[in-house]
Amino acid sequence: MNRIDKLLASMTLDEKIGQLNMATAGQAVTGPIVGAPTTEAIRDGKVGSLLNLFGSEATARYQKLAVEQTRLAIPLLFCADVLHGHRTTFPIPLAEAGLFDPETWERTARAAAAEAAAEGIALTFAPMLDIARDPRWGRIAEGPGEDPRLGARFATAKVRGFQGADLAAPESIAATAKHFCAGGAAAAGREYAAVDVSERTLHEVYMPPFRAAVEAGCAAIMPAFNSVAGVPMTSNLRLLRDYLRRELRFDGAIISDYDAIAELLIHGVAADRAEAATLALKAGVDIDMVGGVYLAHLPEALARGLVDMDDIDAAVRRVLTLKQKLGLFDDPYRRAASAAHQMHPEDELSADVARRSITLLANHDNILPLAADLRRIAVIGPLADAPAEMLGPWSLAGDPNRCVTILRGLRAALPLCEIAYEPGVSSKGEEEGDIAAACALCAQAEVVILCVGETADMSGEAASRAAPGLPGRQRELAEAVLATGVPVVALISSGRPLMVSWLRDKARAMVATWFLGDFAGHAVADVLTGRFNPTGRLAVTWPREVGQIPIYHAEKPSSRPANPAEPFSSKYIDLPVEPLFPFGHGLSYTRVTLRNLRASRHEFSRGDSLEFEIDAVNESAIATEETIFLFAHDLVASTARPLLELKTWAKVTLAARQTKTVALTLSAESLRCLDDDFRPVLEPGEFDILVGLNADRRTLLTTRLRALPHGARES
């Protein structure tokens, strides 16, 4: 009999249910405080894991209670949201996704895992893998953007980074893929709201990142708060038990979101907490985060015959197995004991990723990089000197005191330039500011760096915005500054695309600086001065106005495509249908053109490898890096296919005036679609392969291939 079998055989009902109970230590507030654990509860075996406690001394102290003062000495599992760094803060995931660089995604997760593990954390509630096409939803900041192929690559990299090659290693932590499933499709972009999408959309858009996470070996999965087609994810038998457990063969732990089991009553699918506990347990939810529903009401559910002991034992076995895989039974202090690991060893990586995450959105008349002989710059706006805001949401252990602001970064980079600063207005309030003083500084400057956008708490959980433009009086400030006639470079700090088409049209340059973490200011200064040629590309489409939402590159055909000259077409009468900036958009200080797309074959069958080449030409006098995207469109299929489906991408570095041939490879299977039973199938027929620097279909180079019927081969 192995260790887990022996434990299960010796555990009382209360001890078993205790392993399914996650309590909050309250060190970091990530939701309403439902109840903090007592030392007596831990000693009594009623707590299996703790949320929001980190620090080697604190975790060791609680762990000692569990392993030295309980009957069975089962170690605690310490958990926290390590979303984009721990002590060292990296750019938010939506910004980092714009690197299109899985190796870097894995490196930042690995660095965060090492820091978190050194403080006793053994599991993170990350990566967040919700495909998000609605920037009103605040949690778009936490994930990889709008595309399922990008999301799947992001998922694989992050799971590998957090967990490493050995989950039991002292520097590894368990990854939790969340929020399964379709949390990013919440109605009207409102956090926690219901989701109603087709079964096909679930399988084609929202599930692929989670499938990739499972295939990469993720240790845990967290269901979303929301319901899908009327069934709350926390009790969704079809998606949790049938799809995750049976079809994908996921055998790790399923952890509820914060108090989500109790909220089944509010969803209206459970009459009391015993029923709520039953629904969640039967669906496969192993750990009840914070709500205490399992602890208080599973005994009642068992007595009423709603669940049986096999259901409870199966959940307990998965929790104990996770602890065993983490090495906690062999050495419950192994992570906290590694506290000698010096904090912030990855500052260089953090600074590099921050630079690479910045997206140059517009650069009229090549005002950027800033001229080397500038002598007077006005830095205006409430986000210019706001260290806490640079960290972004979910930076629980981040330290604003070490964060480099934009103002500080510019002053360090331009010591010979006079840099005057005036916030002008507050970041989100309507209180009086000093717009006149800001404009007076602008009048004396050669160029204005306008720093506007959101505060960190305006993105993330419970941060939906019906009108995601510049908050407070920031637009008033921006328009006053623009009216001075001094050239304006607008920097947008945010966790989502903002509706700022008016600013794009009037500012000389516009830069998405997102929330970049500890080295935001240095990264921004490096890009503005030309010390770094910007390489960030958008992982999400930027709408012109809220009325275009949802907007994304993979839309399906309209029976009457948009045509401004045709009154009865799929268009707006008051706005172009095109976005402000397409998926993949991002400028640099060079001009790169693509030429001569060619395919290794024009007919193919199942199992074939498809190779494509394209010539990338750097027409400028400085080196650059480009991201080249390959999309596909199935012209005639059994169901209407998206006009553009991202299939792969390649990154290429080009010296000044250099031309390189870039190779991109697909498998024939990557061109499959899902049949009526949502099984992948390669249908015969024609496919367009489209290659370019972003998802603007008007700019893409195209070649056509034909899939042969099964069994046929090209002649």
C-alpha 311/C-alpha 325 separation (Å) is: 22
Q: In 264-308, which ranges are continuous DSSP H helix?
A: 264-267, 273-283, 293-303
Are the C-beta atoms of residues 604 and 705 closer than 8 Å to each other? yes
Strands 231-232 and 174-180, sheet pairing: unpaired
Are the C-beta atoms of residues 442 and 420 closer than 8 Å to each other? no
Closest by Cα among 473, 477, 476, 493 to 422: 477
Indicate the SS3 state at residue 684.
coil
3-class secondary structure for 98-166?
CCCCHHHHHHHHHHHHHHHHCCCCCEECCCECCCCCCCCCHHHHHCCCCCHHHHHHHHHHHHHHHHCCC
Does the CA dihedral 352-356-362-363 come out positive or negative? Answer: positive
C-alpha 74/C-alpha 489 separation (Å) is: 57
Does the CA dihedral 691-651-151-521 come out positive or negative? Answer: negative
Cα dihedral 690/579/147/364 (nearest 10): 80
Q: Hey, which residues does 618 pair with through a beta bridge? A: 592
- Work out the burial of residue 542: count CB atoms within 10 Å of its CB; fewer than 13 is exposed, 13-18 middle, 19 or more buried: buried
Please report how many Cα atoms fall inside a 13 Å half-sphere around the Cα of residue 583, on the Cβ side.
27
List 257, 288, 352, 608, catalytic entry: 257
Closest by Cα among 282, 274, 298 to 16: 298
Are the C-beta atoms of residues 124 and 178 closer than 8 Å to each other? no
Identify the helix (H) or strand (E) that includes residue 221. strand 220-223
Strands 359-363 and 77-80, sheet pairing: unpaired
Tell me, yes or no, if 14 is annotated catalytic: no
* CA-based R_g, the chain, Å: 26
Indicate the SS3 state at residue 265.
helix
Quote the tokens at residue 249.
């063969």
Are the C-beta atoms of residues 553 and 540 closer than 8 Å to each other? no
Strands 220-223 and 174-180, sheet pairing: parallel
DSSP label at 35? Answer: -
Does the CA dihedral 347-348-353-355 come out positive or negative? Answer: positive
What counts of helices (H) and strands (E) characterise the chain?
Answer: 20, 26
Closest by Cα among 84, 254, 266 to 179: 254
Are the C-beta atoms of residues 394 and 515 closer than 8 Å to each other? no
Query: Nearest 5°: phi and psi at 212?
Result: -65, -40
Closest by Cα among 578, 583, 612 to 687: 612
C-alpha 438/C-alpha 418 separation (Å) is: 15
C-alpha 95/C-alpha 119 separation (Å) is: 26
Q: Which residues contact 51 (CB under 8 A, 6 or more apart)?
A: 22, 23, 24, 25, 30, 79, 80, 289, 290
Indicate the SS3 state at residue 360.
strand
Residue positions annotated with a catalytic role: 257
